[in-house]
Amino acid sequence: MRHSFVDTKDPLNLPDAEFDAVMTEIDRELRQRTDKITGREFLGFVEYCSVFKISIDTEHPTTRRIFDWFIRMYGQRLSMDWDFGRSVVFVNGELCKVRGIRFFGTMLFVCAPTVVGRKLRQATSDGIIPVNNLLESIEGLTPVLAARLSPDECSEMLKAYSRMYIAFSKLEAAQGSRYGGGDAPYVKEAVHDLIVSTESLLSSSPNYGLSKYASLQAVEKVLKSCIPEKGGTHKYSHNLTGLAAEAAKWGVPGVDAAQIAAVQCPAAVRYHSTLVAKGEAVAAHYAALTVCGQLAPILKGTTAQSDACDYEFALPDGAKLSGIRLGYVSPAPPFTLSSASLGAP
């Protein structure tokens, strides 16, 4: 569609009235494309750059002008969750939420009560960057309780964070619609299922049955997305063992039978949550994250890359802390997102 304003001479210095007319037309088109208001300022920014064939970063005055226009129009309704995803960790037998913090480049984590409150830094190929203590990112975890955690508990927390990050970042990479491409089928819905799985574990009245069923749905959708990616067709079945076997026939890597068993459940758990215990629901959630993280790279979407590996941080006194090193290379969109613009910590 040709916009009425594409012949404007200088899109970086429009008079106020003309700028408002341009933004009003862009906003009208965005409303026709999607009912979502969250994040619309970024969509409007992308559209502005596209129609005027300009490239500006998120610190440019015109970008700020675009964002301010949407803020005046929609206020707090623009607020958007920029995290990769979320999951849970056990703290002294209780569940706490942990956020998959959005970042670009490299992020380092340790999980150690002995360095809570200390500012740690590490020289890397990306420069000198902070070393984050996972214990300071867990919602509801007090310093007193953190001090009582054992090394084994801390190690399990790092594993949980790595598992969550890999699953959500790789599922995001299978979604290319925001960059002008296409999304792998069912992937957006699978991400939503994983979020439901998490939130159902954490509500004031936890629903463990719903959490486990949402975990099943996430795995089911990713398996069903992988099969046509390899040229096959799938049945509309909730039998994960059968879906995994069908996927394997088409060249999809085999899924650990124990992970499938941890997730499989009858639909009845949606109506009778007492059929599923807390530990069983958490195990299903973790298994779903593992399977989705394993299979998501099969699905085409974007050029984004993510990885996670073990990491060891040396303190000045010679002591060493075990940790994880996370990497994220985003797709190359037609604009540059700064960490400040995303509200990243």
pLDDT of residue 339: 35
Tokens 């700020």 — which residue? 64
pLDDT digits (tens, 9 = 90+) for 81-126: 778 999 999 998 899 999 999 888 899 999 999 999 999 999 988 7
Average pLDDT value over all residues in the chain: 90
102 membership: H or E segment, kind and range: none
Residue 165: phi and psi, rounded to 5, are: -60, -45
7 membership: H or E segment, kind and range: none
| Other Cβ atoms within 10 Å of 226 Cβ, number | 29
| Bridge partners for 89 per DSSP | 96
Greater confidence (157 vs 316) lies with 157
pLDDT of residue 166: 98
Strands 127-133 and 105-110, how do they pair? parallel
Is the pLDDT at 337 greater than 60? The verdict is no
Identity at 200, one-letter amino acid code: S
Which range, of 204-208, 256-260, 332-336, averages the lowest pLDDT? 332-336
C-alpha distances in Å from residue 289, one per residue of 108, 228, 286 = 21, 21, 5
Percent of the chain with pLDDT over 90: 70
pLDDT digits (tens, 9 = 90+) for 238-268: 999 999 999 999 999 999 999 999 999 999 9
Domain ranges (residues) in the chain: 16-80, 85-326
Tell which CATH classification among 1.20.120.330, 3.20.20.140, 3.30.70.20, 3.40.50.11540 matches the domain 85-326: 1.20.120.330
pLDDT of residue 34: 81
| Other Cβ atoms within 10 Å of 109 Cβ, number | 25
Kindly indicate the confidence band of residue 332, based on its pLDDT and cuts at 50, 70 and 90.
low
Is the pLDDT at 336 greater than 60? The verdict is no
State the pTM of this model.
0.79
Is the pLDDT at 274 greater than 60? The verdict is yes
- Put the strands of the sheet holding 320-329 in their side by side order: 120-124, 127-133, 105-110, 320-329, 305-314
Distance CA 11, CA 3 (A): 13
Is the pLDDT at 177 greater than 60? The verdict is yes
Identity at 233, one-letter amino acid code: T
Is the pLDDT at 338 greater than 70? The verdict is no
